[in-house]
Chain A
Amino acid sequence: DTGVSQDPRHKITKRGQNVTFRCDPISEHNRLYWYRQTLGQGPEFLTYFQNEAQLEKSRLLSDRFSAERPKGSFSTLEIQRTEQGDSAMYLCASSFGELFFGEGSRLTVL
C-alpha cells in the first residue's frame, strides 16, 4: 500500500459542468476526510466519514457538493454545476490514528 491515492490529480472544466474526484485511502483506515484548499490558505474541512457513515458536513458543502463512501473503502466527491469559485485543491486524508494526506486533486473551473 503506497498511501492515500487521489484521482485525477488535475481537472480543468467549464463552468456548469459536473466533476467527480476519487480518493482511495490507506487500507483499513476507518476515517476519511475531504478538505478544500485555496492558494495561501490552510485546508478547510468539507466532510468526514467513519467507515461508510458520513458523520459531519461543513456548511461549505453546498447542495452542489455530494460525497460518498459506499463500502467504507474508497470515497468520491462530486461537484455539480461547477462555478469558478470552486477552483481549488481538493485534499483527501485517511487515518486510523496517524493522519495521512493524498496529493490532492486540483480543480480549475473556466
Chain B
Amino acid sequence: KNQVEQSPQSLIILEGKNCTLQCNYTVSPFSNLRWYKQDTGRGPVSLTIMTFSENTKSNGRYTATLDADTKQSSLHITASQLSDSASYICVVTVNSGNTPLVFGKGTRLSVIA
C-alpha cells in the first residue's frame, strides 16, 4: 500500500533555532516528492519538488533532501522565524494509476519567541 509517514507529528522550537522534519514513504513507482507549507486556515503552498535524481534542493531557509534508496526525505529549516509556524506536508507522486498523489498527515511546527 502506498503510504507517506511524517515525523514528528508536532514540534515546538525557539525562534532562531534550526529544525528538521522527516518524511518516509512506501510509494511505487515513485515520480516526485513535494513539501508544502500550510498556514492555519489556508491552502498548502509549495516549498520544493524533487525528482528521483535530485538529492538536495533549497528554497531560502528551507532545504529538502531526498534519498530514493531508503525512501526518505527531510525538510531542514534554518534560523527559524515566527512566521514558519505552520503545518508542513510531504506529498509523493505515484508514477501510475488514477490516484497519483499520496499525502502525509503533516508536521505541526510552532516557533516561539
Docked-complex contact B98 and A42, CB < 8 angstroms: no
Docked-complex contact A99 and B91, CB < 8 angstroms: yes
How many contacting A-B pairs (Cβ < 8 A)? 48
Chain B residue numbers with a CB within 8 Å of A35 are: 103
Docked-complex contact A48 and B89, CB < 8 angstroms: no
Docked-complex contact A43 and B44, CB < 8 angstroms: yes
State whether the Cβ of A45 lies closer than 8 Å to any Cβ in chain B.
yes
State whether the Cβ of A68 lies closer than 8 Å to any Cβ in chain B.
no
Complex CA distance for A98 and B42, rounded to whole angstroms: 19
Chain B residue numbers with a CB within 8 Å of A65 are: none
- Contact A56-B98, Cβ < 8 Å, known A41-B105, A42-B105: yes
Output the nearest chain A residue to B93 by Cβ-Cβ distance. Answer: A99
Interface size on A, residues (CB 8 A): 24
State whether the Cβ of B96 lies closer than 8 Å to any Cβ in chain A.
no
- Contact A45-B46, Cβ < 8 Å, known A40-B108, A106-B41: no
Whole-angstrom distance between the Cβ of A74 and the nearest chain B Cβ: 17
Chain A residue numbers with a CB within 8 Å of B49 are: 98
Complex CA distance for A13 and B104, rounded to whole angstroms: 30
State whether the Cβ of B43 lies closer than 8 Å to any Cβ in chain A.
yes
Docked-complex contact B89 and A43, CB < 8 angstroms: yes
- Residues of A in contact with B (beta carbons under 8 Å apart): 4, 6, 33, 35, 40-45, 48, 55-56, 89, 91, 93, 98-104, 106
- Residues of B in contact with A (beta carbons under 8 Å apart): 34, 36, 41-46, 49, 87, 89, 91, 98-101, 103-106, 108
